[in-house]
Amino acid sequence: MKKRVVITGYGVISCVGNDSSTFWDALLEGRCGLGPITKFDASGYRTQIAGEVKNFDITQYVPFKDSKRMDLFCQYAIAAGDEAIRSAGLPKDFQESELDENRVGVLVSSGVGGILATTTQNSILFEKGPGRVSPLAIPMMIADSAAGDLSIRYAAKGPNFGIVSACASGCHSVGEAYWIIQRDDADIMLAGGTEESVVPICVAGFASMKATSMRNSDPLHASRPFDLHRDGFVSSEGAAVIVLEELEHAKKRGAKILAEVIGYGATADGFHITSPDPTGESDARAFRIAMRHAGIQPDEIDYINAHGTSTPLNDKYETLAIKSAFGEAAKTVSVSSTKGSTGHALGAAGALETVVCVKAIETGIVPPTINFETPDPECDLNITPNEPVKRPIRIAANNNLGFGGHNAVVIFKKFED
């Protein structure tokens, strides 16, 4: 019999707050974390704005010497992981606890991994020679380092890996972790995503392909999902780690259950490296698969946290996907994209938005899509504009798409014993 999987904790680092409570409050208040890039001189770039993590001090979590051995995306994962562990009431060292460390896994992913270390060490190679490249260059660069660092930090010896599926990475991680517990390969999984994409090569690359917004003089209104005048996404950074746990295991240790994971669907467009399937059918199929596994009908879902990147193509084709998968229910299901506030955190986006879905279920509040000023006739969903809306939310779905044609949907439900 398949195991039931619940969520017992989460942690967040984001451009609108460095813990889950501050993050959620910012979304409900319609605050935007986007602004001019300060991490490097972006004056010569087509896009000069991003969602930077602010006031982050890794030495609150690890000694300064140890922090120099890890890239920033790993540092974000550690901070989010520590909050997740703490909020779930779990030990910092599973090996020294009564829990079985062999049944605790980590699946934390990244879209681009240690891109800052990659570019920094590449410059050292060509400017100073191969002998000056850091012996830690490779472990700082590789995208699985975040999962590895968390596994080492907590002595978690169960399944341990990362997924690279661009902007769907975080959502895939939560879904795959759900399946790992469901098939009884682990009791606890730390799942999520982390990203440090505000680096020159990423900002320049996205701008060159005309994927990012050019509203450099107005960053607070640059990310405008589903709005008629959207002109591209705004890159951001951060991390979210979610604690998934087998139901009976959580109940036995007296954990507070925040929500249940009930469905997961993953598909591919097989169409184009950057453009979504123009029919929306591949993403719609991911929704249908997730609903089939969950044993629910479309009209039972109360809220969708849409991928909603604020690009002309994504929002249009995602609308087609939701209308295809939901039929008549697409007219009534509440939809919002929180990327108006957070920008697009790439591989961390699906993890951050998993926290949004769980918080929506916990509080009965649909967070708003800010900067939604002019409705787009081609995005005729039940968008929640600019202000949060209170309504009962029993079931919520998170949808994420990634370059390469990756689609992922995870469905969550209010816990009912």
Over its C-alpha atoms, the chain yields an Rg (Å, rounded) of 20
Is the overall model pTM greater than 0.85, yes or no?
Answer: yes
Closest alpha carbon to 213 in 197, 229, 200, 201: 229
pLDDT tens figures, 116-136: 999 999 999 999 999 999 999
pLDDT tens figures, 250-269: 999 999 999 999 999 999 99
How many other CB atoms are found less than 10 A from the CB of residue 239?
A: 36
Catalytically annotated residue among 293, 307, 379, 406 = 307
Closest alpha carbon to 80 in 188, 251, 264, 237: 237
Level-2 CATH architecture, domain 263-413? 3-Layer(aba) Sandwich (3.40)
Structure tokens at 288: 């249908």
Structure tokens at 321: 């996907």
Beta strands 395-402 and 49-50: pairing type? unpaired
pLDDT tens figures, 332-379: 999 999 999 999 999 999 999 999 999 999 999 999 999 999 999 999
Residue 167 known to be catalytic? yes
Domain boundaries, the chain: 5-252, 263-413
User: Residue 236 above 80 pLDDT?
Assistant: yes
Q: List Cβ neighbours of 251 (8 Å cut-off, separation of 6 or more).
A: 257
Closest alpha carbon to 159 in 173, 170, 139: 173
Residue 15 known to be catalytic? no
Q: How confident is the model at residue 417 (pLDDT cuts 50, 70, 90)?
A: confident
Give dist(CA 148, CA 162) in Å, integer. Answer: 9
Confidence (pLDDT) at 1: 72
H/E stretch holding 267 reads strand 259-268
Its CATH class, for the domain covering 5-252, is: alpha beta
H/E stretch holding 189 reads strand 188-195
pLDDT tens figures, 171-189: 999 999 999 999 999 999 9
Beta strands 406-413 and 395-402: pairing type? antiparallel
Residue 307 known to be catalytic? yes
CB 27 within 8 A of CB 356: yes
User: Residue 319 above 90 pLDDT?
Assistant: yes
Which DSSP state fits 344? B
**CA count, 13 A, side-chain hemisphere, 305:** 32
Q: 371, exposed or middle or buried, with CB in 10 Å at 0-12, 13-18, 19+? A: buried
Q: What percent of the chain has pLDDT over 70?
A: 100
5-252 and 263-413 have identical folds: yes
Q: Which amino acid does the sequence have at 101?
A: E
pLDDT tens figures, 267-283: 999 999 999 999 999 99
Three-class secondary structure of residue 50 per DSSP: strand
Confidence (pLDDT) at 135: 96
How many other CB atoms are found less than 10 A from the CB of residue 417?
A: 7
Q: Cα 397 from chain centroid?
A: 13
Q: How confident is the model at residue 299 (pLDDT cuts 50, 70, 90)?
A: very high
Catalytically annotated residue among 172, 249, 293, 344 = 344
Catalytically annotated residue among 167, 171, 357, 379 = 167
Percent of residues in the chain assigned helix, strand, coil, to nearest 5: 40, 20, 40
